[in-house]
Amino acid sequence: MSAMREVPVDVVDEMDRVECRVAFLSDVFLAVSEKPENDVALSRKGWQGLFYWTQDLEDMLRRLNEQVKTA
């Protein structure tokens, strides 16, 4: 992609939402890493929720990438 190419406004608007989600995941991993070794930081459902959260984030990024490619 050329550096001179314009990025669609929808993509720019969505990037803040993506950045917030990534920052949240970073905070979650920081909090989980601070737990003592024997403490279960996340329940099974919590880990599944994290899996779905990252899948949603991946889908968002894939969709944004497609929008940029077609612009």
Place of tokens 């001179």: 4
pLDDT at 62: 92
For the chain, the 3-state helix, strand and coil shares in percent, each to the nearest 5, are 75, 0, 25
Contact between 3 and 68 under an 8 Å Cβ cutoff? The reply is: no
The pLDDT of residue 59 is 92
Instruction: Return the domain boundaries, the chain.
Output: 9-70
Averaged pLDDT, groups of 10, the chain, 71 residues long: 66 86 88 77 82 90 87 69
Distance CA 20, CA 13 (A): 12
7 neighbors 66 (Cβ within 8 angstroms) = no
